[in-house]
Structure 1
């Protein structure tokens, strides 16, 4: 269930996912990134420990690979919010839509002061430095290996039946 402050939903809201995407885009600036790469970066940013990085910002819950399935719509809504505030632009290309941080993204993010955001910024730097030259296929192979490992880790061993 989402955390709510007053009447504002904060966890997995367009605000949270939009700011996470904005952090990644600002760190990648001036690169333009498509939605699939943003989804992968966002997942890796909060679960860096799964890919031999710094400690993860979010807890290592079983079956978290399913997060990628629900995250797409959340990040799209977050990007639309950031676009509506002039912090992100969307570029239509022959290869689909690509997103880019606007000039105001850095100062906006610098004005936010929370430990969680500081950790996200640190992880975003690590993610972009480590993965920006990887092909889409290489990142997907990496994540597939991580999912396969979780599947083995969290499978309940079959118990012998006693009749």
Structure 2
């Protein structure tokens, strides 16, 4: 019996991929709970740790990767929902808004993944938590904004381009 494949189904850049990364980030920061924006920022820093003088980036340094920040929030939200549906993440509503926290099942689940990529992901998530976990929200925003600034300058046409 052959296994049917669904067309246009991908694991990369999916809720599954970002959900697992978010779960690893939450497990690395446990017992702290993180809001969605901090998860988005930490996800970028985990994947592109080399951009901030950290360990070698998990993914190749593609040009204009800073644009990922523009699309990452929605897909990470979907990934968190997937992890919540599996009992690995809790959503907590409080006076300061909604935050997410790893459950007691998260760390054993994360620790059970032993591929080289997962070990590298866990190492970088721990590094991001140690390096940026206590960073003030405004400081983190300024750091992440610097990526947007760099990205925006890549789109500015140079003077004289196109004859004008």
Query: What TM-score does the superposition give when structure 2 sets the normalisation length?
Result: 0.87
CA deviation after TM superposition for structure 1 residue 64, in Å: 1.7
Task: Summarize deviations over 1:116-140 as a string: whole Å, max 9, x none.
Answer: 1111111101100000111111011
Please give the residue correspondences for 1:152-163 in structure 2 after superposition, counting only pairs within 5 Å.
152=153, 157-159=158-160
Task: Summarize deviations over 1:24-54 as a string: whole Å, max 9, x none.
Answer: 0000001111000000000010001111111
Q: Distance in 1 between matches of 2:15 and 2:150?
A: 30
In the alignment, what sits opposite 2:41?
Answer: 40
Q: Distance in 1 between matches of 2:109 and 2:134?
A: 27
Indicate whether 1:80 and 2:81 are aligned. Answer: yes
Residues paired across the two proteins, number? 158
In the alignment, what sits opposite 2:134?
Answer: 133
In the alignment, what sits opposite 1:97?
Answer: 98
Unaligned runs of 5+ in 2: none
Q: Give yes or no for contact 1:50–1:146 (8 Å, CA) kept in 2.
A: no
The residue matched to 1:10 in structure 2 has which SS?
A: coil
Indicate whether 1:64 and 2:65 are aligned. Answer: yes
Q: Distance in 1 between matches of 2:67 and 2:163?
A: 34
Task: Summarize deviations over 1:85-131 as a string: whole Å, max 9, x none.
Answer: 00000001111110000011111112222221111111101100000
Q: Which deviates the most, 79-88 or 149-158?
A: 149-158
Q: Distance in 1 between matches of 2:25 and 2:73?
A: 15
The residue matched to 1:125 in structure 2 has which SS?
A: helix
The residue matched to 2:101 in structure 1 has which SS?
A: strand
Q: Distance in 1 between matches of 2:79 and 2:162?
A: 49
